[in-house]
């Protein structure tokens, strides 16, 4: 997957992907639209600052303006989108305070999911953690650093999946969407994500061995380091 280099390209890439999504005209259509748009953020297709034009997104997703506006309102409440008076709806550009708050949540959720999760010793759930590690390694071998970023998102989703909680899975999707927007402000994906390939592997190995307390501590340290790096970069960029 290639992330667009500028907002216009990003919007076109997202529209192309959304045009293939099937969003049924049901009472839950707005929620499904919100899910599809959020996924575009998580997967790095919708970049910070991109304006979401109503007509083009309605046409791409084959939904009414009312449905799209309802979906937009949900994503604004989730802090993934922002509505600006007389200008329209835009993808949020996270700041330092946003990063601190997201990582505060992640440091509570992710280590606990690893240490205490009902599926932390489930073979299939642990295999998903390992699969995300291998996905990242394969992308790095191809020098596909956007693919590495995707794999990193999948890795952290899989960690929370060890909890066996649908509600936590849903909450993690919101946190990952906000974090992907912050990652875009870090510059080159390789510079940020490459060091975590080995750390992801280390966590996965500990989980596979059943050393869950050590794995949870590694995740906590990992998240603290990542937060420091992101906050430092955002502060330097003004």
Question: What is the pLDDT of the chain when averaged over all its residues?
Answer: 87
Q: Are 63 and 33 in contact (CB under 8 A)?
A: yes
pLDDT band (50, 70, 90) for residue 19 = low
Strand partners, 51: 90
Say how far apart CA 181 and CA 167 lie, in whole Å.
22
Q: Are strands 88-91 and 81-84 parallel, antiparallel or unpaired?
A: antiparallel
pLDDT band (50, 70, 90) for residue 10 = low
Percentage of the chain modeled with pLDDT above 70: 86
Residue 5: pLDDT over 80: no
Q: Are 220 and 111 in contact (CB under 8 A)?
A: yes
Q: Are 186 and 228 in contact (CB under 8 A)?
A: no
pLDDT of res. 180: 86
At 143-180, the pLDDT tens digits run 998 899 889 999 999 999 999 999 999 999 999 889 88
DSSP string over 18-59: HHTS---SSTTHHHHHHHHHHHHHHTT-SPTT-B--HHHHHH
Say how far apart CA 152 and CA 140 lie, in whole Å.
11
């Amino acid at each position: 997957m290639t992330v667009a280099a500028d907002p216009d390209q990003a919007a076109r890439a997202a529209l192309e992907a959304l045009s293939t999504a099937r969003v049924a005209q049901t009472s839950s259509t707005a929620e499904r639209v919100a899910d599809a748009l959020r996924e575009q953020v998580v997967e790095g297709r919708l970049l910070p600052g991109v304006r979401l034009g109503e007509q083009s997104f309605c046409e791409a997703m084959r939904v009414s303006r009312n449905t799209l506006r309802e979906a937009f309102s949900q994503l604004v409440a989730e802090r993934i989108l922002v509505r600006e008076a007389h200008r329209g709806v835009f993808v949020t550009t996270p700041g330092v305070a946003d990063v601190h708050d997201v990582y505060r949540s992640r440091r509570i959720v992710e280590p606990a999911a690893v240490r205490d999760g009902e599926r932390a010793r489930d073979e299939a759930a642990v295999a998903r953690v390992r699969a995300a590690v291998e996905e990242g390694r394969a992308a790095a071998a191809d020098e596909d650093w956007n693919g590495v970023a995707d794999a990193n998102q999948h890795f952290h989703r899989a960690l929370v999946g060890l909890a066996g909680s649908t509600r936590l899975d849903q909450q993690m999707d919101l946190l990952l969407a906000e974090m992907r927007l912050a990652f875009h402000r870090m510059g080159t994906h390789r510079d940020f994500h490459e060091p975590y390939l080995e750390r992801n592997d280390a966590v996965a190995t500990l989980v596979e061995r059943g050393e869950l307390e050590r794995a949870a501590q590694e995740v906590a340290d990992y998240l603290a380091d990542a937060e420091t790096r992101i906050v430092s970069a955002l502060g330097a960029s003004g």
